[in-house]
Amino acid sequence: MSKDLPDLSVLAVAGAEVAVRVTPKAARNRIVAEDGAIRVYTTTVPEDGKANASVTKLLAKAMGVPKSRLELIRGQTSRDKVFRVIG
């Protein structure tokens, strides 16, 4: 696992909801997990769902699941997002 992506495989449980705080237009792509909160930094700009797609990809990689198993259920246009792990 890259130093910019922590091992979040413990969260890859079907039905689990994962809350993240997103910072778009960051200097580099990375995920920081601290104090029970997950912060995702993406270099992508928040337009036309591009940042959401980037966050989904980063989160899936850190969790060790295909990105098709992550569904954005809340926060499509917000910095605070909630993803659900599908079956």
* CATH code for the domain of 65: 3.30.1200.10
- pLDDT tens, residue order, the chain (87 aa): 667 899 999 999 999 999 999 999 999 999 999 888 999 999 999 999 999 999 999 999 999 999 999 999 999 999 999 999 998
In a domain, 33, yes or no: yes
Asked if residue 3 is part of any domain, the answer here is no
8 close to 77: Cβ distance less than 8 angstroms? no
Name the residue range of residue 13's domain. 9-85
What pTM did the predictor assign? Answer: 0.93
How many domains does the structure of the chain reveal? Answer: 1
Q: How far apart are CA 87 and CA 85, in angstroms?
A: 7
CA distance 29 to 41: 5
